[in-house]
Amino acid sequence: MLLSALSQAETKADVRMLLNEYGYEPVNDAWGKLDDLTRASLSLVKGFDGQVLHDIGSEPDSV
């Protein structure tokens, strides 16, 4: 449950909510089980206060 919730997190607020709900140690353990791409995406969200986009689709946006 926690690993799934962490992998679906989109913002720093989502991760903070998980930290408040589960505590640091369980979230840290789940963090270690994430794949490299998900971990990198969440690290960028933290660094730039952004948002992760999940399933954006295979078609590029028109310009």
Share the mean pLDDT of the chain.
84
Q: Where are the domains of the chain?
A: 2-48
Greatest mean pLDDT among 11-15, 17-21, 52-56 lies in 17-21
In tens, the pLDDT along 28-57 reads: 999 999 999 999 988 888 777 666 555 656
Determine the Cα–Cα distance for residues 45 and 12; give it in Å rounded to an integer: 7
Whether the predicted model's global pTM rises above the 0.85 cut:
no
Determine the Cα–Cα distance for residues 46 and 19; give it in Å rounded to an integer: 14
